[in-house]
């Protein structure tokens, strides 16, 4: 930081933070174009999130809330902010970190290390739920059985339900997941490109539970086997737009939010899976179909022409997201991965 004083001269004279007028600014907020210092950024960022929580009545005192923790930056920020606000404003929440381990050797090692660090740093108990716990199969087991060809289908379908199932296992009232504006804007754009207005309307809503599948916190983690090129282009496109106009990303999200109003009456019909009770447009949800195939030694079952996921894009890499924290209510938790987004 010492070097900073000299450095600020480069910007054409020492400028100070627009908010406190005391410290050297370190970033320009895309939202306001204000040049602000580190301390003021934390302050406005945390206060905005608090306001969103209060305004949307996201929590009630005494609730058990799981923070979907992937070890990535978004969930790490969420864990920090929520534990901080819970103390600062006495929300009275019983918070803990919920992590999913797919059981891919080596794949989650780093991120689980980060989550364990978060546990210590923020004093939040950590619960790791594995695919083995949830489905009876690790991804490595699945790959052994079916090979590398279709494993993304399994990983994507199972991943989409894992948080819900994990949360049910742990008897929590709500799940919160962290998303950044880039991911949300990207998802809005992808839903427009796919002509999926129903999904578009869901993807910017702050709470889910009464309709539609649930946003997933780590869907932006690229599958190690098959990166999603289409999504990659969308991401690059919005980052290019942002370069021309920093507010572009927030404006895309705003568009997604405004679309919602116009489409609330036309939601697709959703039933529930006869097997596990998650929302499904079919008799059995996709995860249950795939599991049945695995357990009966017919792993091709549920893969192929009839898969719902294909119509709407790849099964992995989904990232339906919200601004700031997303809260998922468990009471009405009846989601299923077979309707993907």
Least gap, CB of 221 to other proteins (angstroms): 5
- What element of type H or E holds 250? helix 248-263
In the bound state with Zn ion, the residue whose beta carbon lies nearer, of 276 and 339, is 276
**Residue 213 in tokens:** 């599948």
Strand-pairing partners, residue 329, are 174
- HSE (CB half, 13 Å, CA atoms) of 182? 19
The answer to the question of residue 289 lying near Zn ion (CB under 5 A) is: no
- Output 80 or 219, the one with its CB closest to other proteins: 219
Binding mask 85-124 for other proteins (x = CB under 8 A): ----------------------------------------
As measured in angstroms, the least distance from the Cβ of 148 to other proteins is 21
95 binds, options Zn ion, other proteins, none, Cβ within 5 to 8 A by partner type: none
What number of helices (H) and strands (E) belong to the chain? 13, 10
Question: Does the annotation place 178 within a ligand binding site?
Answer: yes
Among Zn ion, other proteins, none, residue 224 binds (CB under 5-8 Å by kind): none
SS3 (DSSP) at 239: helix
In whole angstroms, give the CA distance from residue 190 to residue 230. Answer: 9
Neighbouring CB atoms inside 10 A of 76's CB total 22
Check residue 27 for interaction with other proteins (CB under 8 A): yes
Give the distance from CA 35 to its chain's centroid. Answer: 28
Residue 285 interface partner, choices other proteins, Zn ion, none, CB cut-off 5-8 Å depending on type: Zn ion
The DSSP annotation for 271-312 comes to: EE-TTT--EESSSS-HHHHHHHHHHTT-TTTT-STT-HHHHT
217 binds, among Zn ion, other proteins, none (CB under 5 to 8 A by kind): other proteins
Integer-rounded Cα Rg, in Å, for the chain is 21
Q: Does residue 320 interact with other proteins by CB under 8 A? A: no
70 annotated to bind ligand: yes
Among 275, 282, 310, 329, binds Zn ion (CB under 5 A): 275
Question: Which one of other proteins, Zn ion, none is in contact with 19 (Cβ closer than 5 to 8 A by kind)?
Answer: Zn ion
From the CB of 279, what's the least distance to Zn ion, in Å?
A: 9
Among 66, 97, 157, 273, binds Zn ion (CB under 5 A): 273
């Amino acid at each position: 930081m010492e070097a900073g004083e000299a450095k600020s001269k480069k910007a054409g004279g020492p400028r100070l933070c627009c908010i406190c007028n005391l410290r050297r600014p370190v970033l320009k907020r895309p939202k306001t174009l204000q040049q602000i210092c580190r301390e003021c950024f934390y302050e406005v960022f945390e206060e905005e999130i608090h306001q969103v929580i209060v305004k949307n009545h996201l929590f009630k005192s005494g609730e058990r809330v799981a923070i979907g923790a992937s070890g990535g930056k978004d969930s790490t920020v969420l864990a920090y902010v929520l534990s901080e606000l819970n103390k600062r404003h006495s929300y009275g929440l019983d918070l803990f970190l919920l992590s999913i381990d797919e059981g891919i050797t080596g794949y989650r090692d780093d991120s689980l290390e980060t989550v364990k660090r978060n546990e210590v740093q923020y004093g939040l108990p950590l619960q790791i739920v594995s695919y083995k716990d949830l489905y009876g199969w690790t991804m490595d087991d699945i790959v052994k059985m079916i090979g590398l060809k279709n494993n993304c289908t399994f990983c994507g379908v199972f991943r989409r339900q894992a948080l819900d199932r994990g949360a049910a296992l742990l008897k929590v009232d709500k799940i919160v997941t962290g998303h950044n504006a880039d991911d949300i804007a990207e998802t809005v754009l992808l839903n427009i490109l796919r002509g999926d207005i129903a999904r578009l309307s869901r993807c910017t809503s702050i709470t889910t539970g009464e309709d539609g599948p649930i946003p997933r916190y780590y869907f932006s983690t690229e599958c190690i086997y098959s990166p999603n090129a289409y999504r990659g282009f969308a991401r690059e496109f919005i980052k290019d737009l942002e370069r021309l106009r920093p507010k572009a990303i927030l404006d895309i999200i705003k568009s997604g939010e405004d679309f919602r109003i116009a489409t609330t009456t036309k939601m697709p019909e959703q039933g529930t899976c006869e097997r596990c009770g998650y929302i499904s447009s079919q008799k059995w949800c996709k995860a249950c179909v795939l599991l049945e195939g695995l357990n009966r030694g017919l792993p091709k079952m549920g893969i192929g022409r009839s898969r719902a996921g294909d119509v709407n894009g790849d099964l992995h890499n989904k990232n339906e997201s919200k601004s700031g924290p997303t809260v998922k209510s468990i009471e009405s938790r009846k989601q299923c991965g077979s309707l993907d987004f």
